[in-house]
A and B are shown apart, each in its own frame.
Chain A
Amino acid sequence: MPAVLEFQDILKDYRALFRRRTVRALDHFTLQVEEGEIFGFLGPNGAGKTTAIHLAMGFVRPTRGRGMMFGKRFGHAATRRRVGFLAENVALYHRPAETLVRFYGALNGLTGETLTRRTREALDAVNLLHESNRNVGKFSRGMLQRIGLAQAIVHDPDLLILDEPTSALDPLARYAVREMLLDWRRRGKTIFLSSHLLSEVELVCDRIAVLNQGRVVRLGRPTDLLESKEHFEIIASGVSAANIPGAETSTDGRVLVHATAAEQRGVLEKIWSLGGEVVSVSPHKRSLEDLFLELTGAPGSSTQAGSGEAVR
């Protein structure tokens, strides 16, 4: 599949005008987002997620390296007609919702009947059609996020870049946005999604990149990333848990053993030698939260890195 979005070995340093200290936001950052996928972009605060998004949108310039969007260098204005962008902290002009969405649609070249129809459709998609005459300045944070989404989709873009699109939404609205994203993928659109809501990313994303200190530290499909090749879960029957070190009895009376790859063979032989039967051996599946904590260096994590593409 062709890459819709491509970051090529990008360095981004921030330096204030009269200060010497520089902060490296992105450090040899390389990433490709393919057409038609929902790409999840994870990382702790300050990891460089928003900087990467701002680079893609042409708001900031790389210190070194380059990036392409639909085959054009980042910052190419005409290419942005194919892109819908929602910023992390939605900041929009204070005016009636419909007027506002029309304004942003018109900036992307929509006119006349098309503009009117697309504006209504965008407002309807985020469930704000009934508030179309209300001033955005009086909106709650959740509504602001939805109107932000409406201005991002009004021109029917091929690529949606969303920075924390659901952080202020209630569960119902979050569910609606999730369904909308899945619908967009079905229509062949590409979505680049930065989020702290790990469960949501796990549910909708085809691929995930975990960013830490400006570098991609893990990249892959959620299933591949979350399945461990070093930790296994062995379920056996016909033996007592007391005879196998570290084993526990599950609710259905079977014995459950967690073993590392090195221990796996020994545990299986022990079960067989005791006359037991191995029901299943499966890779241990971690939660995305476990993986996130482990990769971003958060304390209290005991699990080890799984598969997926480790990028160092």
Chain B
Amino acid sequence: MKRARRIGMIAVNFIREQRWPILVLQLSVLGLAALGLLSDARSDRDDILLTFKQLGMYGIAFSIFFGGSAIYNERRSRRILAVLGKAVTRRDYLTGLLLGVALSSGLFCFMLGFTGTWTLCAIGFNFVYLWYLMLCVVAACVLSASVALFFSTHLNPWMSAMFTGLTLGVPGVLAYQFGGFWQYILPLFSLMRVFLKASYEHPGTSAGWAIPAALIETVILWLAAGWVFARIDVAVAVD
């Protein structure tokens, strides 16, 4: 119980420290939705759907940014020392950060889904499918963040982002070319394909096992990140 409380505190602390970018993201979604209301929604319905999809992609990009810079920022500012100087294991700390990124992504997707209900659903998009897509985006965000967090245990944010891109991109290319087994290896591509192909006319395409696969692989990445993070010198600046 105390452990869960500590992890929760680290997660909330992460959100608090990242409150400005999170707030800007939320407001941008809200602002664009408000603009959508002002436009002629019926004639601009494809533009509105495209904007919605773009925002979903931004969510993933920001998850990588949050995940890739979380540890680096704490190490560079040396604030990590006061936290890890307490009865906090490195794995708990990492779990708190991942939970913080997941909550930030969840908050973003909730806002995107919420605004989507009074923009997209008003012009014919399926309500249930909209929230299913949000689930895909959350799973994609958490998966991307866990890859970025894994690399950020020992690399700076730029290197971390680069390796995250490669790690997520290569299975995506293989899944695109060969399909089958590759769809479930870091299934960002599978999740985003469903999201990007969504349309008013053909709701119902699902990601199959991609969501559970993403969550299972997130756990594996979290375990791997914890293993690496337990073995590095946190008091040394990352080059």
Contact = CB atoms under 8 A, between A and B. Distances in A.
A87 B236 contact: no
A59 B82 contact: no
A59 B233 contact: yes
A136 B35 CA distance: 40
Interface in B11-69: 13, 16-17
A80 B5 CA distance: 17
A61 B82 contact: no
Nearest to A90: B82
Contact of A80 (B2, B6, B16, B86): B86
Nearest to A58: B84
A17 B228 CA distance: 14
B231 interface: yes
A70 interface: no
Contacts of B86: 80-81, 104, 107-108
B82 A104 contact: yes
Interface residues on A, range: 20 to 34
A294 B35 CA distance: 74
B239 interface: yes
A57 B2 CA distance: 21
A311 interface: no
A180 interface: no
A17 B9 contact: no
A151 B83 CA distance: 10
B87 A93 contact: no
A106 interface: yes
A96 B13 CA distance: 14
A17 B81 CA distance: 21
A89 B239 contact: no
A37 to B, nearest CB: 21
B87 A80 contact: yes
Interface string A10-39: 000010111000000000000000000000
Nearest to A61: B233
B85 A57 contact: yes
Interface string A148-177: 100100000000000000000000000000
B206 interface: no
A50 B88 CA distance: 21
A91 B79 contact: yes
Contact of A77 (B9, B81, B88): B88
Given A59-B235, A61-B231, A89 B78 contact: yes
27 contacts: A14-B236, A16-B239, A54-B235, A57-B81, A58-B84, A59-B84, A59-B235, A60-B235, A77-B89, A77-B92, A80-B88, A81-B86, A85-B82, A87-B78, A87-B81, A87-B82, A91-B77, A91-B79, A91-B82, A93-B13, A93-B16, A93-B17, A104-B82, A104-B86, A106-B5, A107-B9, A107-B83
Interface of A: 14, 16-18, 50, 54, 57-61, 77-78, 80-81, 83, 85, 87, 89, 91-93, 95, 103-104, 106-109, 148, 151
